[in-house]
């Protein structure tokens, strides 16, 4: 469904942040991207929905907007780009909510791409749309907060409201940039429990800090180091793999991977080595 091919991105200061990133994602997958801070995980996500333009390579999305044909996101502009973005949800680190709007209003903004500009400017959401938004809020268990202002919510509640917005948007692909990094363990678990079942409808690509979370919730892990994919496979990461992704295994945040699940449950995705730099690639 999504195909990222040979993405390269240079920072404004001239440093080559992403050198050659390629992977494919299908519906039903929950991909966890791992890597050290500053390795370009966020930039990679932004390249996928066109918020950032890659210097090289292409991002191709397939089977959205009914026509089914493959579309190169990084070559689209204006109306066409917006049409693709309507099918790509996004959750940021911290809150994406407009603090002064109610939770319901925030969730309704997830549907802005579906309704005409004129209707949306007049707050022309229909009763059916409001019901459907309330349904999405219900799904993440914060129905009682629907009419509260977003600014009165706790961090965990805000992130759940953000997920409700993504549910209401009905995307094919959801990008989650460190959705749980500011949350305590209990809220982290709750947010991920709401995210995971969404893979029935879409693919999710998430950036995470803790390998433990990836092995617990994701169906697949991608490790990035020095601008290249150094690991692409099942989410149960060995110490060797962690060492390949992070400078040393010791420095990895939450490096203690739960060893009680040693065998891969999901099919290991084949990763074609197109990287001429010969970066270490390991599949545990």
Partner 1 sequence: MRVVTGKTMSRYQKYILPAGIFGFLLLGSAVMCRVDPVALIAGIPRGIDLFGQMVPPAWKTFPELVGPALETVEIAFVGTALGASLSFVIGLVAAHNMNSNRILRNTVRTILSVERALPDLIVVLFFVAIVGLGPFPGVMALAASSIGMLGKLFADAIEEVDPKPVESMVAIGATKAQVIRYAVLPQVIPSLIGNTLYRFEVNIRMSIFLGVVGAGGIGYNLVTSLRLLEYQEAMAAILTILILVTLCEKLSERVRRIIVGQELLR
Residues 40-79 that bind partner 1 (CB under 8 A): 49, 51
Q: How many CA atoms lie within 13 A of 40 on its CB side?
A: 24
Cβ proximity of 27 and 172 under 8 Å: yes
In angstroms, rounded to a whole number, what is the distance separating the alpha carbons of residues 79 and 77?
Answer: 6
Minimum CB–partner distance for residue 147 and partner 1 (Å): 9
Q: How far is CA 37 from CA 41, 55, 213, in A?
A: 8, 21, 16
Hey, is 196 helix, strand or coil?
helix
The binder of partner 1 chosen from 56, 149, 196, 212 (CB under 8 A): 149
Q: Which is nearer to partner 1, 202 or 242 (CB)?
A: 202
State the greatest distance between any 2 C-alpha atoms of the chain, in Å, as a whole number. Answer: 57
Q: Which is nearer to partner 1, 121 or 265 (CB)?
A: 121
The binder of partner 1 chosen from 89, 179, 206, 223 (CB under 8 A): 89
Phi, psi of 33 (to 5 degrees): -95, 130
Task: Print burial letters for 220-242: b (CB count within 10 Å at least 16), e (below 16).
Answer: bbbbbbbbbbbbbbbbbbbeebb
Minimum CB–partner distance for residue 204 and partner 1 (Å): 15
Letters for 98-127 (x = contact with partner 1 by CB under 8 A, - = none) are xxxxx--x---xx-xx---x--xx------
Minimum CB–partner distance for residue 244 and partner 1 (Å): 31
CA 231, 213, 182, 46 torsion-angle sign? positive
Q: Which is nearer to partner 1, 88 or 237 (CB)?
A: 88
The binder of partner 1 chosen from 96, 145, 146, 244 (CB under 8 A): 96
* Residue 171 touches partner 1, criterion: CB under 8 A: yes
Minimum CB–partner distance for residue 165 and partner 1 (Å): 8
Chain contacts with partner 1 (rule: CB under 8 A): 49, 51, 81-90, 92, 94-102, 105, 109-110, 112-113, 117, 120-121, 149, 169, 171
């Amino acid at each position: 469904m999504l195909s990222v091919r040979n993405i390269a991105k240079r920072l404004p200061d001239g440093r080559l942040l992403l050198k050659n990133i390629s992977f494919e994602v299908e519906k039903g997958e929950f991909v966890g991207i791992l890597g050290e801070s500053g390795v370009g995980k966020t930039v990679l996500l932004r390249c996928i929905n066109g918020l950032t333009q890659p210097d090289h390579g292409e991002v191709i999305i397939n089977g959205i907007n009914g026509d089914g044909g493959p579309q190169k996101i990084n070559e689209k502009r204006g109306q066409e780009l917006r049409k693709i973005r309507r099918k790509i949800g996004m959750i940021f680190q911290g809150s994406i909510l407009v603090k002064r709007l109610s939770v319901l209003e925030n969730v309704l903004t997830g549907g802005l791409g579906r309704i005409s500009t004129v209707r949306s400017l007049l707050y022309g959401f229909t009763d059916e749309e409001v019901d459907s938004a309330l349904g999405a809020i219900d799904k993440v268990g914060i129905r009682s907060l629907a009419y509260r202002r977003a600014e009165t919510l706790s961090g965990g509640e805000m992130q759940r409201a953000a997920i409700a917005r993504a549910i209401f948007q009905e995307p094919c692909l959801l990008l989650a940039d460190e959705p749980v990094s500011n949350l305590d363990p209990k809220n982290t678990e709750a947010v991920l429990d709401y995210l995971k079942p969404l893979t029935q409808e879409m693919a999710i690509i998430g950036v995470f800090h803790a390998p433990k979370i990836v092995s617990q919730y994701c169906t697949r892990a991608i490790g990035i180091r020095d601008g290249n994919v150094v690991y692409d496979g099942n989410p149960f990461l060995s110490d060797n793999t962690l060492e390949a992704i992070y400078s040393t295994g010791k420095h990895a945040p939450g490096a203690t991977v739960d060893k009680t699940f040693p065998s891969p449950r999901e099919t290991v995705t084949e990763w074609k080595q197109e990287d001429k730099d010969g970066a270490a690639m390991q599949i545990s």
